[in-house]
Amino acid sequence: MFMRTASRLLLFVFATVVVLTPVGAAAKDISALLPTGDESVVSRGDFLRAAIEALDLGKSSYNSTSELPYRRIPKAMEKYVRIAEGKKALDVFKFDLLLARGITRGEALQVLVKLTGSQSSRSVSFSDVTPGSAEELAVKVAVEKGWMEPLKPDLFGVRRVLTSKETLLLLRKVSGQRTEREGATVNESTPTIKIDFKSSQRIGNLPKTQILEAIWKIIQEDFLHQDKVNPDEAAWKAAEGLVQSLGDKYSTFMKPANAQNFQSQIQGEVSGIGAQVEFVNEILTIVTPIVGSPAEAAGLLPGDQIIKVDGTPLAGLDFGEAVDKVRGPRGSTATLTIRRNGTELTVKVTRDVVKVPEDIITWQGDVLIVKIAQFGKITESELRPILAQANAKKPKGIVLDLRNNPGGLLDAATIVMSAFVPKGSDVAVIRANKSERKETTAFEPVIDPGVKMVTIVNEGSASASEIVAGALQDHKRSTVIGSKSFGKGTVQQVVQFVDQSNLKLTIAEWLTPQKRKIDGAGIMPDIAVKEEEGRDAPLLKALELLR
């Protein structure tokens, strides 16, 4: 599967995931604490509250006066956060709890292992579980105790979000309750997730609703090929068309399969040839191949246009359809017809599961080189501790390499900035339809402010990369070198529906702390340095400036 990024799918997430669920009667016992609807996504906050109540920890003593190291804790959740913090059950969430975000299977198990104090010596081996990690321990416990089943023999599914039904079953197993509800045994298999189209409740004034409903009624009654009618696909196509009518290249509706791939990218792992792509003039174009990916090994380059896949032209297809042509099973070969500088060539790429290497830390003598490939959850949770350890070695200078970084999460960008600038520093100005706010750092820096810094950008640096480079430039914390960045300066919000489909909608634009516009303009480097074949000219220039 192709990673959909940059101009088309490179998002800059401004808000946490919103879960829309159908209205229904509250269930009994612990299910009253979960979203209504078996297939509703469970947020971290709802899971934490339900887990603590299910394990009868709600009356546990806790320190109500100590300062919590987290941002944005609702008053109603403070008790549960403090109880979980006392048991170190929140370590999995690192610096920001993001309680409204959907919780994954792996995160939920890590919380439960800490809450219960469970241990296991069992051996497990799954392709999506890192050996020796806290996640592996949690999976060991889950397998040994029968809390949760793997999705496949070699895939546990730690990055899949939990539904209300799955959560209820899990908590009943962990707490020893019966796995029955309203007289019926809970099905332990993975459920089929569908949108509830039966509700008569309107949540908005959709134009031409009567015409749309009339069309659907006529199709159901009179269309000749009734065996070809797929209600879910029809609804998704209508949603896609509604969003496409906005004429905004960054707003898109993603069916469940595409949405899952998108979430996997943010988690740091994708399946496919390992290239980040965008739609440029209706042509599928490579922004950058991922380091160590099949695309890189095959020699694909930024700017390559994909004209055909296995001899089939992509002309006339929309972005999703074009991407689908490149997708395929792991181990299969995609024969791509590439247009590069006006010349067509054929490139064969073997598809594989690609782990996105978000952060690569190296040293050049006494200069620390920090290469960030994307601003995802790995960067958000792991970079600050790594930089703190590196700072103990007293680097003479730091190179922040953001070349070919297409962006990612706002929280991750803010965390990166927090490592270099004083607490409370502006990261970006976010201008919405009816409001304007500032994003600021919430932590003390981990790098000595006296350490000189150079940031490298190029035409593949977009979105979150531009926020960080622009903010460092405005604060005069770093010299920016390289070439002008991509120029992606709008903010997308992701809304997740009960069938796991996603809406990614442009809701704001971002500016640098000094309110410099980035969208369409990019970040101009302080010192222009061109790439040269056979030598890394920008990096050599950065080392020269620092030494």
CB 525 within 8 A of CB 482: yes
Q: How far apart are CA 383 and CA 400, in angstroms?
A: 12
Query: Under the phi-then-psi rule, with left for phi > 0, alpha for psi from -120 to 50, and beta for the rest, what region is 186?
Result: beta
Cβ-proximal residues to 392 (8 Å cutoff; 6+ apart), any chain: none
Q: Alpha helix locations (H) across 419-453?
A: none
Report the distance separating Cα 21 and Cα 433, nearest Å: 26
Nearest to 30 by CA among 134, 167, 230: 167
Residue closest to 361 by CA, chosen among 392, 401, 403: 401
CA distance 285 to 314: 11
Residue for token pair 């790995």: 378
What is the sign, positive or negative, of the torsion defined by CA atoms of 156, 160, 162, 166? Answer: negative
Tokens 């919780």 map to which residue? 103
Name the maximum alpha-carbon separation found in the chain: 76
Q: Taking the C-alpha atoms of 250, 251, 256 and 259 in order, what is their torsion angle to the nearest 10 degrees?
A: 30
Catalytic residue list: 463, 474, 488
Return the structure tokens found at 94.
Answer: 């690192």
Cα–Cα dist 265/273, whole Å: 13
Distance CA 328, CA 265 (A): 17
Tokens of 212: 């749309």
- The secondary structure of residue 543, as a DSSP letter, is H
Question: Which amino acid type is present at position 34?
Answer: L
Q: Give yes or no for a contact between 407 and 11, defined as CB atoms under 8 angstroms apart.
A: yes
**Closest to 15 measured CA to CA, from 531, 492, 431, 517:** 492
445, 422 Cβ separation under 8 angstroms: yes
Give the gyration radius of the chain's Cα atoms: 24
5: nearest Cα among 531, 486, 521, 496: 486
Contacts of 4 (CB under 8 A, 6+ apart): 258, 261, 262, 265, 277, 319, 323
Strands 180-181, 527-528: parallel, antiparallel or unpaired by DSSP? unpaired
Residue 188 to residue 170: CA distance in whole angstroms: 10
Centre a 10 Å sphere on the Cβ of residue 74 and count the other Cβ atoms it contains: 10
- Cα(first)–Cα(last) distance of the chain, in Å? 43
For the chain, counts of helices (H) and of strands (E): 15, 25
